[in-house]
Amino acid sequence: MNHIQFPADRKMDFIAIGRLCIDLNANEINRPMEETRTFTKYVGGSPANIAIGAARLGVKSGFIGKVSNDQMGRFITQYLTDHQIDTTNISVDRTGAVTGLAFTEIKSPEECSILMYRDNVADLKLAPGDVSEEYIKQSKALLISGTALSASPSREAVFLALEYARKHSTVVFFDLDYRPYSWAYTTDPAIYYSLAAEKCDVIIGTREEFDMMEQFTGNPGSNDEVTANKWFGCNAKIVVIKHGSNGSFAYTKTGQVFKGSIFKTKVLKTFGAGDSYASAFIYGLMQGWSIVRAMEFGSASASIVISKHSCSDAMPTVEEIVEFIAGSRKEEQISP
């Protein structure tokens, strides 16, 4: 049963809108940032990582975003072009804004954190005038990401993109991607996230992210089913609630619930799990697979990425994921 009907005959499969940044991942792992001297530079930003992951799986992808008018901005656009992502709707900031930087600290596989430099960032300068109705009309799906809602004019640009997507039946995915430091007021995220989530077809987030959205409405005990049903009362058809190393649950509007298990791996760092999971899960749905199979693909992709140093560069191909799943099954059979 297909819970999501993707429109046929569109030029593009998938467009993401929002953050295009740089990840600077610590080379010297297992130590605090204060003692870290060298970093490797990768393209980053949650929606960028998801688009790169989708493109690596063969999804015809594009991006709506804004980059800084400097070497960093050009590095990002070139990387996306080299990875078969359409960049025609990425505009260049002319106000002197900079590229957001995410320095990652890998103290241990369990203790990872991100230090963000995000003052006057170009991605949040994306404005409604940068969003093309024609471009969104040409795509089967659109992915929005919560951080782009944290400031104007990026917030309005995303809401306009949502309007265009709904007008043209482009399926909307919402990866909640809640980063508290992006928000000036603690009351704002729940308000804007909810206004956006009301319009989306598939909502993907961690339990903590959904808790943030429910901070005013309450959901005693943070019950996943209660959370999912809230969004089924709006436009959602699938709600995915992730629980880190405890796996994930997908709820459908038709009343089904599926558990996604994890693939054990040698974890190098935990960030990148959500983005790789989302890209492979979306890929699966776009192939018309069952939700369970799409979740398995998502979990396997996450497992591969968290065992590697980067997020974007580590996004696996279909063949790598298939091989990884087959290898994990074999291991299960031989373990006593």
Ligand X SMILES: O=C(O)C[C@@H](O)[C@H](O)C(=O)COP(=O)(O)O
Span 271-310, contacts to ligand ADP by CB under 6 A? 273-274, 277, 299, 302-303, 306
Residues that bind ligand X (CB under 6 A): 19, 21, 23, 44-46, 49, 102, 114, 271-275, 311
Residue matched to tokens 């959602």: 236
Choose between 170 and 279: whose C-beta lies nearer to ligand ADP: 279
Binding mask 177-216 for ligand ADP (x = CB under 6 A): -----------------------------x----------
For 51, the enclosing helix (H) or strand (E) is helix 46-56
Chain centroid offset of residue 321 CA = 18
Classify strands 139-145 and 171-175 as parallel, antiparallel or unpaired.
parallel
Applying CB under 6 A, which of residues 4, 213, 262, 280 lies at the interface with ligand ADP?
262
The CB-side HSE value for 223 (13 A sphere, CA atoms) comes to 8
Segment near ligand ADP (CB under 6 A); pick from 90-98, 187-195, 243-251, 328-336: 243-251
Alpha helices in 171-317 (DSSP H): 188-197, 207-213, 224-232, 273-286, 291-305
Applying CB under 6 A, which of residues 132, 138, 222, 265 lies at the interface with ligand ADP?
265
What is the DSSP annotation of 97-156?
A: -B--EEEEEESSSS-EEEEEE-TTBGGGG--GGG--HHHHHTEEEEEEEGGGGSSTTHHH
Residue 244 makes contact with ligand ADP by CB under 6 A: yes
Segment near ligand ADP (CB under 6 A); pick from 10-18, 99-107, 217-225, 236-244: 236-244
Q: How far is the CB of 232 from ligand ADP (least distance, A)?
A: 21
Q: Exposed e or buried b for every residue in 52-85, given b needs 16+ CB within 10 A? A: bbbbbbebbbbbbbbbbbeebbebbbebbeebeb
For ligand ADP, the nearest residue by Cβ is: 274
Q: CB–CB of 239/231 below 8 Å?
A: yes
Q: How far is the CB of 210 from ligand X (least distance, A)?
A: 14
Choose between 164 and 324: whose C-beta lies nearer to ligand X: 324
Classify strands 139-145 and 112-117 as parallel, antiparallel or unpaired.
unpaired
Choose between 12 and 204: whose C-beta lies nearer to ligand X: 204
Question: Distance of CA 157 to CAs 80, 290, 298, Å?
Answer: 21, 33, 28
Residue 267 makes contact with ligand ADP by CB under 6 A: yes
Choose between 162 and 280: whose C-beta lies nearer to ligand X: 280
- Which residues are near ligand ADP by CB under 6 A? 206, 242-245, 247-248, 260, 262-263, 265, 267, 270, 273-274, 277, 299, 302-303, 306
